[in-house]
Each structure stands twice: as structure tokens, then as C-alpha cells.
């Protein structure tokens, strides 16, 4: 497969409410046959697993600090079923393809696996998706709260990266944030949640960022694999902040649920603020 491999349409980025979708299989291969560059993305993969690639997907691949969705794929006319245990965005030569890792289940007398061209239905674990979406939006709310309070208070301040995994959720910032800021940060987070701010998905190009005075947020096209001419996906928490983001989110900030600022830790000029949703 070369660089002209068909990209997977990321349906979840356009409608995060989709919990099922009908799509077509474009490729199926044993995990052991996957190129090493992509095989290394799956620490849990083994010889009993397969990789399924589809025309479009509602499964969010792990990335941007958000865990991957899990769920099932079911053949529309046979009893063949594929349980999805992990999802990743493929590496070269599978750039732009979403790789679904899992195992097949088939009733007696039916085909054991899918074939390219088969029509299947995807179904995600909606409960986990909601948790991941709440955590992801809450992380952006926390980042926004910290920026609003400390951008001009902390030397060399900047937002760096975040993890939105259950029990490991945190946001990292450049600059040393003193523990005395924990309560003010919690107060600002609570304020943003109570305000029920809309969380809007928008599509911007470089000029849109510049028009908003947000040049600092212009993403690296090459790093993200976004071709020239395509717009970047951004998540706009109206009244708070804008983030280039490919993840899933709740529709308004209050839907994050109670969000607790747990701890502020500092090391080598970096501050990490951990949080949790209830």
C-alpha cells in the first residue's frame, strides 16, 4: 500500500452523537501481517487478533490525550461479529487510515471474518464514549480556567499537553504554578461549568486563527497529517477558549459534571494539574 491509500472518513468528528453507523469494509488482515510501523501502536495485539479498516468510522482512535473507543462491528447479513478492543490512527504507509484491533466471532456455518466490500454496522460503547467526552471537555475547561487566571501571572506560561484518561486525567503547563492557585482554579472551573457554555465544533484555516488573534494555536499540518487546503478542526468553548482538537466532547460545559481539581505538582519548570470528573 502506498501513500495513495484511501483515508478513513472520521464520522465521529462531524457528529459525536452517532453511536452506530453502517459502513463498508475496505481491508481485513491478521495483526501479524500489519506493517511494523502500525503494529507497534498496539501493545496488546497478538496473533489471535485482526485489523479491520472501514470506509468511515465512529470509533475515536487513541490520541490527543483521549482513549480509544471500544465496541463491535457486525455483518449486516450474517452472524459474523468483530469485537473492537483498541483503535489507532495508522502510520505510513497507512497514513489517514483508522485501524480497528479486535477478534472475530462467527456462528456455525457462517464466514469466520469480514471481507473487503462487506457491509457492516459499527457500534461503540456509548457509556465509555460519554465518560471520555466529559473528561476531554473538562480538560479543556481546566486549561481555559488556568489560562484566564495565570497567563499574566506565571513567567513563560503556556499550555503544553493533557491526558484525559480516567484516573490519570491531567493538564500540563509551562511555568511554575504555586499550590495557592488550586482553589482559585477550582472556582474558575466551577464558574465555567455553571455557565453552561456551548461547546462548538468548527473548521478553521490559518487565516481564521489569525483573524481571531490566535496565531499561537495554528497547528502543524505535517505533524497532524492535514493536507494543504483542508481546514483544521477546532473546539470552541464559547466565552472561554478555542482549542485545535480532534476529540469528542459534550455539548455544553455543565455536562462535564462536577469536576475536581485534585493536585498541582511542579518539576523542571513544568506544572501538572490533575483533575477528575464525578
pLDDT tens-digit readout, 53-91: 999 999 999 999 999 999 999 998 888 999 999 999 998
Residue 235 has pLDDT above 50, yes or no: yes
Residue 3 has pLDDT above 60, yes or no: no
What's the pTM? Answer: 0.93
Closest CA to 6 of 39, 51, 50, 55: 55
**CA–CA separation, 143 vs 157, rounded Å?**
12
Q: Which CATH number fits domain 9-124: 2.40.30.130, 3.40.718.10, 3.40.50.1970, 3.40.1450.10?
A: 2.40.30.130
Contact 113, 74 (CB under 8 A): no
**CA–CA separation, 124 vs 70, rounded Å?**
6
pLDDT band at 225; cut points 50, 70, 90: confident
pLDDT value of residue 108: 54
Domain borders along the chain are 9-124, 129-277
CA dihedral defined by 264, 265, 267, 271, rounded to 10 degrees? -20
User: What are 49's strand-pairing partners?
Assistant: none
- Residue range 129-277, CATH number: 3.30.980.10
User: What are 158's strand-pairing partners?
Assistant: 174
**CA–CA separation, 122 vs 252, rounded Å?**
26
Give per-residue pLDDT as tens, 14-33: 998 999 999 999 999 999 99
CA atoms within 13 A on the CB side of 183: 1
Beta strands in 125-222 (DSSP E): 158-163, 170-174, 199-204
Residue with grid cell 491531567, as numbered in its chain: 170
State the first-to-last Cα distance of the chain, in angstroms, to the nearest integer. 45
Residue with grid cell 456455518, as numbered in its chain: 109
For the chain, give the percent of residues with pLDDT over 90. Answer: 87
Residue by residue, DSSP assigns 129-151 as: HHHHHHHHHHHHHHHHHHHHHHT
Contact 86, 123 (CB under 8 A): no
Handedness of CA 112, 115, 118, 120 (dihedral sign): positive
Amino acid at each position: 500500500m502506498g501513500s495513495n491509500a484511501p483515508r478513513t472518513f472520521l464520522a465521529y468528528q462531524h457528529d459525536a452523537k452517532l453511536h452506530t453507523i453502517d459502513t463498508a469494509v475496505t481491508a481485513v488482515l491478521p495483526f501479524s501481517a500489519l506493517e511494523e510501523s502500525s503494529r507497534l501502536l498496539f501493545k496488546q495485539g497478538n496473533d489471535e487478533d485482526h485489523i479491520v479498516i472501514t470506509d468511515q468510522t465512529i470509533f475515536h482512535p487513541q490520541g490527543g490525550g483521549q482513549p480509544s473507543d471500544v465496541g463491535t462491528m457486525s455483518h449486516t447479513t450474517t452472524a459474523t461479529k468483530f469485537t473492537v478492543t483498541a483503535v489507532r490512527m495508522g502510520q505510513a504507509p497507512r497514513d489517514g487510515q483508522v485501524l480497528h484491533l479486535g477478534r472475530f466471532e462467527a456462528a456455525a456455518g457462517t464466514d469466520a471474518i469480514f471481507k473487503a466490500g462487506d457491509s457492516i454496522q459499527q457500534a461503540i460503547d456509548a457509556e465509555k464514549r460519554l465518560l471520555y467526552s466529559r473528561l476531554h471537555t473538562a480538560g479543556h475547561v481546566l486549561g481555559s480556567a488556568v489560562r484566564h487566571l495565570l497567563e499574566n501571572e506565571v513567567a513563560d506560561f503556556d499550555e503544553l499537553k493533557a491526558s484525559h484518561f480516567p484516573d490519570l486525567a491531567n493538564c500540563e503547563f509551562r511555568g511554575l504554578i504555586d499550590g495557592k492557585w488550586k482553589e482559585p482554579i477550582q472556582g474558575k472551573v466551577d464558574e465555567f461549568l455553571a455557565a453552561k457554555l456551548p461547546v462548538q465544533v468548527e473548521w478553521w484555516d490559518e487565516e481564521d486563527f489569525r483573524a481571531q488573534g490566535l496565531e499561537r494555536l495554528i497547528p502543524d499540518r505535517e505533524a497532524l497529517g492535514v493536507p494543504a487546503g483542508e481546514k483544521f478542526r477546532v473546539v470552541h468553548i464559547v466565552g472561554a477558549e478555542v482549542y485545535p482538537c480532534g476529540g469528542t466532547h459534550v455539548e455544553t460545559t455543565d455536562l462535564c459534571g462536577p469536576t475536581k481539581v485534585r493536585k498541582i505538582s511542579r518539576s523542571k519548570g513544568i506544572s501538572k494539574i490533575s483533575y477528575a470528573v464525578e
